[in-house]
Amino acid sequence: MIKIDANFFRVDGGAMFGVVPKKLWQRQYPCDENNLCEIALNCLLIDLGNRKILIDTGAGNKHTRLLNSYGFSTITDIRDEIIRNGYSPSEITDVVLTHLHFDHCGGCTFYEENSSEFRLTFPNATHWVGVKQWENFLSPNPREDDTYFIENMQAVADAGKLKLIHENTWLCPKIELRLFNGHTYGQLVPYIHTPKQAMIYVGDVIPLAAAVRLRWVSAYDIQPLVSMQEKETLLKEAVEKNQVLFFEHDRYNDCCTIEEKQNRYVVKNTFPFNPEYYT
């Protein structure tokens, strides 16, 4: 497994932590003088030999005005990051998209120079998406309509490379895809089963280690009470089975384990992602 760094950007701390007062969340996650928190775009590449699976693709490089407004210091082309790690975009067989907000699927397509068309970044890959998320993407609610961009996914659908998930399913014997709601409809959460320990790519169910607490729910979530219920379901199993959480958006913590203390789920240990541990 390889962590693919697809850039960093900034979001308002109040939006990231919702109703939690700043004096509480700032102890757990830093912000600048403008109340902006720097967050990561950590994608994951899993090489299973005959299957090469990429989880999320970052924000891409098409919407420069939007990316500048979110404080992207540079515009990252995920193709370059895939190549830098010794792979070709054409080798990717599967792209798992947790959901279709721009910062998770923007790298699925690119605008080819001297052409008016968008091209597939991973032309040979099946792109896995929750069916409810796809329906929401095509007809978004008012809370999410400014985070969905048809140019990120239309070429994928047109090429017949879209695979919609109706229920929890196994992509392959080592990777399970489970559906979660709350942050948005039909978010896919990959469970990566290894001989030593299962790792959960928690996406925006729990975007940061600081957001493990059940009541710490982002203002971006469209169903905050559902988010809390879904988070509790995930954390309960993570404690019982000693699973590792891999954070997509945490700038400072790659992974953690969870424990239960005084009827609350809390971070037990945080640690850097170590691919050799899972091989």
> What is the widest separation between alpha-carbon atoms in the chain?
61
Output the six-digit token pair for 156.
């994928």
| Beta carbons of 163 and 134 less than 8 angstroms apart | no
CB count within 10 Å of CB 91 equals 15
DSSP 243: P
| Annotated domain spans of the chain | 2-278
Q: Closest by alpha carbon to 124, among 149, 176, 87, 99?
A: 87
CB 58 within 8 A of CB 106: yes
For residue 209, CA distances in Å to 18, 140, 165, 229 come to 15, 29, 27, 17
What is the tally of helices (H) and strands (E) in the chain? 8, 15
Separation in Å, CA 109 to CA 2, 91, 117, 150, 205: 21, 16, 10, 10, 25
Q: What is the pLDDT along the chain (279 residues), one digit of tens a residue?
A: 999 998 888 999 999 999 999 999 999 999 999 999 999 999 999 999 999 999 999 998 887 777 777 777 677 889 999 999 999 999 999 999 999 999 999 999 998 776 678 899 999 999 999 999 999 999 999 999 999 999 999 999 999 999 999 999 999 999 999 999 999 999 999 999 998 899 999 999 999 999 999 999 999 999 999 999 999 999 999 999 999 999 999 999 999 999 999 989 999 999 999 888 766
Q: With contact defined as beta carbons under 8 Å apart, do 47 and 89 qualify?
A: no
Helix or strand run (H / E) with residue 275? none
Close Cβ partners of 186 (under 8 Å, ≥ 6 residues apart): 99, 129, 130, 131, 132, 133, 134, 135, 136, 165, 179
Q: What's the distance, Cα to Cα, between the start and end of the chain in Å?
A: 8
Instruction: Please state whether 208 falls in left (phi above 0), alpha (psi between -120 and 50) or beta.
Output: beta
pTM of the predicted model, to two decimals? 0.95
Q: Please check whether the domain covering 2-278 is classified as CATH 3.60.15.10.
A: yes
